[in-house]
A and B are shown apart, each in its own frame.
Chain A
Amino acid sequence: MSGDLPPALDDLRDQLRSAAARDNEVERRVAQRVRRLRRRQWLLVALGALVSFGGVAVAERALDRRGPDRPADDLPPNAAPAADPGVVATSATPDPGGGPPWAVRVFTNRSGLDCIAVGRFVGGAIGSYDNTRTFRALPARVSGACEPLATSGLLVAVEHYPRPPKRTVVYGMSRDRRPVRITIAGVTRTVAPGGLGTFIDVRDGAGDLRGASATTTVGGRTVRRSLGPAP
Chain B
Amino acid sequence: MTKITLCTLALCNCWAMAMPGSGESAAEGATFLARSLSDPDAFAAFYTLYVSRVSVYFVRRIFDPEVAVDLTAETFALALERRRQFRGRSAEEEQGWLFAIARSLLHGYWRKGRIEQAAVSRLGLERPSLGTEDIEYLHRQAGLDGLRGRLAEALGAVRPDQAAAIRARVLEERDYAEIAAEFETTPDVIRARVSRGLKTMQRYLGDRVPDALADA
Residue count of chain A within 8 Å CB distance of chain B: 26
Measured in the bound complex, the distance between the Cα atoms of B76 and A18 in whole Å is 13
Q: What's the least CB distance linking A225 to chain B, in Å?
A: 13
- Please tell me which one of the listed residues A9, A12, A20, A151 contacts residue B40 in the complex, with CB atoms under 8 A apart: A20
Pair A20/B124 contact, Cβ less than 8 Å: no
Chain B residues closer than 8 Å to A19, beta-carbon distance? 77, 80, 123-125
Q: What's the least CB distance linking B129 to chain A, in Å?
A: 6
Measured in the bound complex, the distance between the Cα atoms of B50 and A12 in whole Å is 13
Pair A8/B40 contact, Cβ less than 8 Å: no
Chain A residues closer than 8 Å to B48, beta-carbon distance? 3, 5, 13
Number of A-B contacts (CB under 8 A): 88
Residue count of chain B within 8 Å CB distance of chain A: 34
Pair B123/A151 contact, Cβ less than 8 Å: yes
Pair A24/B129 contact, Cβ less than 8 Å: no
Q: Which A6-34 residues have C-beta < 8 A from chain B?
A: 6-9, 11-21, 23-24, 27
- Please tell me which one of the listed residues A8, A17, A151, A221 contacts residue B44 in the complex, with CB atoms under 8 A apart: A17
Residue from the set A8, A14, A19 with the largest chain B CB neighbour count within 10 Å: A8
Q: A-side interface residues toward B, CB under 8 Å? A: 3, 5-9, 11-21, 23-24, 27, 151-153, 218-219, 221
Pair B131/A20 contact, Cβ less than 8 Å: no
Chain B residues closer than 8 Å to A14, beta-carbon distance? 44
Q: B-side interface residues toward A, CB under 8 Å? A: 22, 36-38, 40-41, 43-44, 47-48, 51-52, 55, 69, 72-73, 76-77, 80-81, 122-126, 128-131, 133-134, 136-138
- B137 (CB) vs chain A CBs: closest residue: A6
With A19-B77, A24-B37 given, is the CB distance from A12 to B124 under 8 Å?
A: no
With A153-B124, A219-B124 given, is the CB distance from A24 to B40 under 8 Å?
A: yes
Q: What's the least CB distance linking B25 to chain A, in Å?
A: 14
Pair B36/A8 contact, Cβ less than 8 Å: no
- Please tell me which one of the listed residues A11, A18, A24 contacts residue B128 in the complex, with CB atoms under 8 A apart: A11
Chain A residues closer than 8 Å to B80, beta-carbon distance? 16, 19-20, 23
Pair B125/A7 contact, Cβ less than 8 Å: no
Chain A residues closer than 8 Å to B41, beta-carbon distance? 17
Q: What's the least CB distance linking B139 to chain A, in Å?
A: 11
The 4 closest A-B pairs by CB, nearest first: A20-B40, A8-B128, A21-B40, A6-B137
Pair B44/A13 contact, Cβ less than 8 Å: yes
Chain B residues closer than 8 Å to A218, beta-carbon distance? 124
Measured in the bound complex, the distance between the Cα atoms of B72 and A192 in whole Å is 38
With A9-B128, A151-B122, A151-B124 given, is the CB distance from A16 to B134 under 8 Å?
A: no
